[in-house]
Structure 1
Amino acid sequence: MNNQKDTYTIVCKNYVFLVALLAFISGQSQNSDSNFNQSITKTIEDIEEIYNITVKDEKSLLNEKYLDYADWRINQYNLEASLNAILSPFDLMFWKESDSVYSIREFDYPRNTPDIGKRRLEYLNNLYTNKSEWEERKASLKACIIEALKINDAPVLEKPQVVITKKRKYKGYSVENIGLEVLPGVYATGSIYRPLKTKNKSAVILSPNGHFGDGRYRESEQIRCANLAKMGAIVVSYDLFGWGESTLQFASEYHKTSIAQTIQVLNGIKLLNYLLKLAEADANRVAITGGSGGGSHSLFLTAIDDRIKVSVPVVMVSSYFSGGCPCESGQPIHLCGNGTNNAEISAMAAPRPQLIVSDGQDWTKHVPEIEYPFIKKVYSFYNAEGKLENQHFADEGHNYKESKRKAMYPFMAKYLDLDLSKIVKNGEILENISLETENEMKVFGDNGEQLPKNAMHDINQLYALFGLTYEK
């Protein structure tokens, strides 16, 4: 019995000694002279002192993080290089709030700082100095974007199903809803606005929805589309993937998947195919406009589809932000050409008319002094600077509301030969339309009861159509 107690005592003592030894070794590893291991909080404090700045860590992202040779990574002549060297091993990044204040953030691949965006454009400026060099770059980017989006991998439908609802007539325009099969069992859903009386063929305008509340059902979207129809255009407003009626097939959680970006671009292409087959559609007068996520897709579709002659991307042209949703940046299009951004993608519209709408409270606040001059230089290769415009609303935020719409209407009228007088009275643009309810705008019934029987619901099957595998 005593022998068992002695053995137990020895084991316990050895265990205590081992725990203490491991703790000692761990402590030594954090303070060892051999690798200069140090808390990065301390290193950041050193950087603050060297550069006389403040670094904020409001989410305590630096806590309990140690780095070998931490202080040796400081570059006394380059603040941002120093911060990158310290933060990158932990998938952290910095955000410059002012010349003297920086904040720590988790790495966010589509979001960078204005300074980095500016430097990127300076680099791109040196890649092409004339039309020939730019055309070579543009062709390479276009091919890469199409490949990255998997557009050519999409199965071809010989006879896609089309569901059209009864037309509702209002003063100067009509509305009908559409469900267009863009892939086997996958439907784009939207509403088509048409002018009531036209003598000649009508221009066609794509209106991709953005990340705004109520989607295409919202008042702002209806006003924009109805007024453009009054002016003489056929306009289609369509849902984001996993938004609106699209959720009858794929739950909203799938909106934030990479395939969403592919489907949304494909929806625009297929809806344009459908509209241009209409006898009253003029294939030579095609435009696109959208805000936020719809602004992103206005950029993408204009870049890869030469049928689009006029573009008005709203609150989305930026050199340092490529879209915070996978439906805008989930596919690696911004890695094309060894790195591109929405400003360069915007420039791919040249020499076609383009109105860039920006504001002072989001990532487009620097457009007048950073992105616009860069894009204008590309337009100069074609002697087409006059076809590029920027309307900047310094006191406004991220939206596509009245002031921005009223900047867009005259631009569309000018380049699409639309009749602006249809919405003007006493020199003022009016937006008097008949607002519809959400249920009125649904193509498959109030509760989806008219959804086609072949409608797909499995996200795995959707990915498989492109030879891909869905991973959560």
Structure 2
Amino acid sequence: MKHVPNSVFGNGLAVLLAGMVLVSVALPRDLQAEETKLEETVASEDLPDLKTLDGHFPFDVPESREQWESRAEQLRTRVAMATGLHPMLPRPPIQATIHSVVKRDGFQVEKVYFESLPGHFVTGLLFRPAGESLSRGLNADGKRPGVLNPHGHGGRMMRNDADRMKALIANGDELYMESGSLPKLARCATLARMGCVAFIYDMVGYADSVQLGYEFAHRRHETREEEVVPAGSDPELFFSTPADARLQSILGLQTYNALRSFDFLASLGDVDPNRLAVTGGSGGGTQTILLDALEPRIMASFPNGMVSTSMQGGCACENACLLRIGTGNVELAALMAPKPMGMTAADDWTIKMMSDGYPELKQLYSMMGQSENVLCESVVQFKHNYNYVTRRIMYGWMNEHLGLGLETPIVETDFPAITDEEGAVWDDEHPAPTQRGPQHEKSVLSWWDQQSERLLADCLGQSATAAGFDETIRPALATLFDLPLPETSGVSVKFSEPVQHESGATVVSGVVVDRARRREIPIQKWIAKSAQDVSPPTTVLWVQATAQESTGEPEWSAALADQLEQSKVLIVIDIASMPTDAEAGKQRTNPQPRRASAAFTYGYNRPLPATRCGDVLAVISAFQNSPGDVTLVAPQGAAAYALPAAAIAGPFLTEAVIDVNGFRFADLRHQDDESFVPGIVKYGDVDALAAWRAPYALTIHDSSDEAWATAKAIYQTRDASDQVQWRASE
């Protein structure tokens, strides 16, 4: 195994790398023609605005079905990770309580509650056919379709008053004063009258979901005092930095509740497991999109009001870190393809769907040979809605794709509105749970941590196996740091005129141009005063994480001086001078009213370490055609992005030498920290990043080697234990 001198990390390690000739190449031969004078304007100095939920999220359809299937696999991993469900949390058989039948003409309503996880209850209403509807929807086994109904904001018991109803009826939104006053229950009632079993469950904080409050889950604008993380503590609360580092969110809990509600519906004895569907509007449309991505048993879907290239969901319960980086709701909805999926375009953020979004979905479905399985109808005469007109479109869609065989069009009929008492799940005989608020949060997150630790037992730590690591951790890390090593044809190098440094060294400033990302990464070619004009065997890439405040140039330190004296020539990757448009040591964040949730920044934008990782990879690619070896050296302060860059580069680096110096992502106390990466703690922290590089040569400098169980295990399973070494940081 080949090593570079370790004087950069202290003289005590020099023995390890003694006797080696380490001199950098001047320039890769294929880039010499592109060595031009540095232009005045550096593109990366003009930072683009951070993407927000109100941006544009186009769907670029891949050229082939094979390309789409590969992309779809990546997206499903992203959705599962963002919701905290990679790997999937346990979904044992549901033990539900069903009670108190409420009868109406053609259907009946039953009240339901069950534990989605120990101590956390999901509540809702179950609609079944009754009377003359009993003969509809049956298959040969006497079973019916099941339709899950995420209700969206407003709650399942959202009630329009008389004045509102008169306006809706006059406008054509609704037909009836009574049933139309509860539009979310009206669709469940009509589905039951069509012969389906329909279940509408409570979103977190709505109606009978009382353990976490509505304001907390859906109207969050400020950080709670108890979320502030003092050093050495872990609050185990939603929206805290430790929770984000483990991808635990209200969206994740709500998605898990939705999956458990689907499990409940599918488990009912009168439900046909081959005819299961989901439909929701607005926030319920967001849940429908996510359910379609995660639950393969869904056979038909109607995600209304949220499939759009525009606004992606304004509530904290619709956003999670990682979810929409490089993607958006239209592409996420496309994960349903080629199974039937319908929707509408209204006078809201979906208004452009007929020309931007739906054509692309149609193109994808056509490529998959099922063009008739996707539908978007324009109802732009109405504002944001799941009104009677939209519901009627949905009824026809479900009638066709659930094989109900009913005459069309299907028209709603009126019924006496369900009263608040009739719709209440909790009563004297079925009391509401008493554990609520922060104490309940701690209970939920503690269970979540325990389950994740158990599920990752064969992926992380001393028991890690290559199979477990490759199946779960590797795709997770590839999602967190999702910028690949660029093709050499996509990068180039530009240098300015050389200048003399006060140390006597010659410095040539330059940039590596990453054309695909429109980034220019500052580099310096440092040539020692004692350098000889020889053809060197090794290119040494030095990651510079700090800069002199007065000049903005790489900090002239004893470490850099020692390394330069031994290597004679260094290519310094000047990460420190890259603009971040934030305070020192912090990342840029979206200045929105909903700023208190990290998801509004990191749900749409890569964290800074992922961007910096991409910058390092661009430089590695730029020097790939250099004669001899290429080695990456990262002194203190660069581990958060140098480790993943070394892992992604793999065999394109002869060796990586990283000074971790006690850094752990788990120790970060705020989401704005420049090293914060959502999810990285769940997936093994720096230990897993080191394991990700196996079987290629890696030297880690740290205060101890005891915390690197995963790296040791994975290097061993790949018969490469001799390729990884640990040395003490100075």
> TM-score by structure 2 length?
0.46
Query: Do 2:266 and 2:272's aligned partners in 1 also have CA atoms closer than 8 Å?
Result: yes
1:443 to 387, 400, 425: 425
Say if 2:208 is the partner of 1:245.
Answer: yes
2:71 to 132, 137, 143: 137
Does the C-alpha gap of structure 1 residues 215 and 436 become closer, same or farther in structure 2, counting only changes over 3 Å? closer
Q: What secondary structure is seen at the aligned counterpart in 1 of 2:284? A: helix
Post-superposition offset of 1:231: 0.3
1:396 to 355, 379, 382: 382
Which residue number in structure 2 is paired with residue 28 of structure 1? none
Which residue number in structure 1 is paired with residue 304 of structure 2? 314
Which residue number in structure 1 is paired with residue 190 of structure 2? 227
Q: What secondary structure is seen at the aligned counterpart in 1 of 2:383? A: coil
Query: Do 1:409 and 1:420's aligned partners in 2 also have CA atoms closer than 8 Å?
Result: no
Which residue number in structure 2 is paired with residue 377 of structure 1? 363
Letter in 2 for 1:235: A
Which deviates further from its counterpart, 155-164 or 339-348?
155-164
Post-superposition offset of 1:455: 7.2
Which residue number in structure 2 is paired with residue 342 of structure 1? 329
Q: What secondary structure is seen at the aligned counterpart in 1 of 2:303? A: strand
Which residue number in structure 2 is paired with residue 147 of structure 1? 81
Counterparts of 1:74 and 1:394, CA distance in 2: 44
Letter in 1 for 2:260: K
> TM-score by structure 1 length?
0.69
Query: Do 2:155 and 2:206's aligned partners in 1 also have CA atoms closer than 8 Å?
Result: no
Query: Do 1:261 and 1:331's aligned partners in 2 also have CA atoms closer than 8 Å?
Result: no
Counterparts of 1:402 and 1:150, CA distance in 2: 35
Pairwise CA RMSD: 3.0
For structure 2, the residue ranges without an aligned partner over 5 or more in a row are 1-39, 160-180, 219-238, 240-247, 453-665, 672-730
Q: What secondary structure is seen at the aligned counterpart in 2 of 1:243? A: coil
1:303 to 293, 296, 302: 293
For structure 1, the residue ranges without an aligned partner over 5 or more in a row are 1-71, 76-80, 94-106
Say if 2:108 is the partner of 1:174.
Answer: yes
Does the C-alpha gap of structure 1 residues 73 and 134 become closer, same or farther in structure 2, counting only changes over 3 Å? same
Counterparts of 1:184 and 1:471, CA distance in 2: 29
Deviations 1:305-332 (CA, angstroms, capped at 9, x unpaired): 1101111111111123221112111242
Counterparts of 2:329 and 2:426, CA distance in 1: 35
Post-superposition offset of 1:449: 6.6
- What percent identity do the matched residue pairs reach? 27
Query: Do 1:319 and 1:371's aligned partners in 2 also have CA atoms closer than 8 Å?
Result: yes
Does the C-alpha gap of structure 1 residues 363 and 305 become closer, same or farther in structure 2, counting only changes over 3 Å? same
Query: Do 2:345 and 2:353's aligned partners in 1 also have CA atoms closer than 8 Å?
Result: yes
1:266 to 256, 259, 262: 256
Which residue number in structure 2 is paired with residue 109 of structure 1? 52
Does the C-alpha gap of structure 1 residues 236 and 73 become closer, same or farther in structure 2, counting only changes over 3 Å? farther
Q: Which has the higher contact order (CA 8 A, sep 6+)?
A: 2
Letter in 1 for 2:296: D
Aligned length: 357
Which residue number in structure 1 is paired with residue 397 of structure 2? 411
Letter in 1 for 2:337: A
Query: Do 1:190 and 1:239's aligned partners in 2 also have CA atoms closer than 8 Å?
Result: yes
Counterparts of 2:196 and 2:158, CA distance in 1: 18
Deviations 1:395-452 (CA, angstroms, capped at 9, x unpaired): 111111111111111111011122544xx7xx67133123111221111128x97124
Post-superposition offset of 1:292: 0.4
Does the C-alpha gap of structure 1 residues 74 and 155 become closer, same or farther in structure 2, counting only changes over 3 Å? closer
Q: What secondary structure is seen at the aligned counterpart in 2 of 1:245? A: coil
Q: What secondary structure is seen at the aligned counterpart in 2 of 1:332? A: coil
Letter in 1 for 2:69: E
| Structure holding more helix per residue | 1
Q: What secondary structure is seen at the aligned counterpart in 2 of 1:244? A: coil
Which deviates further from its counterpart, 318-327 or 394-403?
318-327
Counterparts of 2:42 and 2:415, CA distance in 1: 61
Letter in 1 for 2:427: G
Query: Do 2:392 and 2:410's aligned partners in 1 also have CA atoms closer than 8 Å?
Result: no
Which residue number in structure 2 is paired with residue 192 of structure 1? 126
Query: Do 2:77 and 2:86's aligned partners in 1 also have CA atoms closer than 8 Å?
Result: no
Query: Do 1:232 and 1:419's aligned partners in 2 also have CA atoms closer than 8 Å?
Result: no
Does the C-alpha gap of structure 1 residues 186 and 304 become closer, same or farther in structure 2, counting only changes over 3 Å? same
Query: Do 2:91 and 2:260's aligned partners in 1 also have CA atoms closer than 8 Å?
Result: no
Counterparts of 2:156 and 2:272, CA distance in 1: 31
Q: What secondary structure is seen at the aligned counterpart in 2 of 1:208? A: coil
Counterparts of 1:267 and 1:227, CA distance in 2: 24
Which residue number in structure 2 is paired with residue 103 of structure 1? none
Which residue number in structure 1 is paired with residue 271 of structure 2? 281
Query: Do 1:231 and 1:419's aligned partners in 2 also have CA atoms closer than 8 Å?
Result: no
Q: What secondary structure is seen at the aligned counterpart in 1 of 2:249? A: helix
Does the C-alpha gap of structure 1 residues 393 and 379 become closer, same or farther in structure 2, counting only changes over 3 Å? same
Deviations 1:4-29 (CA, angstroms, capped at 9, x unpaired): xxxxxxxxxxxxxxxxxxxxxxxxxx
Letter in 1 for 2:376: N
Q: What secondary structure is seen at the aligned counterpart in 2 of 1:295? A: helix
Letter in 2 for 1:343: V
2:444 to 446, 452, 462: 462
Deviations 1:46-90 (CA, angstroms, capped at 9, x unpaired): xxxxxxxxxxxxxxxxxxxxxxxxxx9899xxxxx9xx948x6xx
Does the C-alpha gap of structure 1 residues 262 and 215 become closer, same or farther in structure 2, counting only changes over 3 Å? farther
Counterparts of 2:183 and 2:286, CA distance in 1: 18
Q: What secondary structure is seen at the aligned counterpart in 2 of 1:307? A: coil
2:345 to 332, 342, 358: 358
Post-superposition offset of 1:162: 2.1
Post-superposition offset of 1:465: 2.7
Does the C-alpha gap of structure 1 residues 297 and 376 become closer, same or farther in structure 2, counting only changes over 3 Å? same
Counterparts of 1:268 and 1:204, CA distance in 2: 14
1:332 to 311, 322, 347: 322
Does the C-alpha gap of structure 1 residues 388 and 214 become closer, same or farther in structure 2, counting only changes over 3 Å? closer
Which residue number in structure 1 is paired with residue 413 of structure 2? 431
Does the C-alpha gap of structure 1 residues 133 and 428 become closer, same or farther in structure 2, counting only changes over 3 Å? closer
Post-superposition offset of 1:159: 6.3
Query: Do 2:148 and 2:199's aligned partners in 1 also have CA atoms closer than 8 Å?
Result: yes
Deviations 1:344-381 (CA, angstroms, capped at 9, x unpaired): 0111111111112111x211011000100111111112
Post-superposition offset of 1:146: 0.9
Does the C-alpha gap of structure 1 residues 344 and 166 become closer, same or farther in structure 2, counting only changes over 3 Å? same
Deviations 1:167-212 (CA, angstroms, capped at 9, x unpaired): 1222111101111210111111110101122452110101001113
Counterparts of 2:339 and 2:314, CA distance in 1: 27
Q: What secondary structure is seen at the aligned counterpart in 1 of 2:115? A: strand
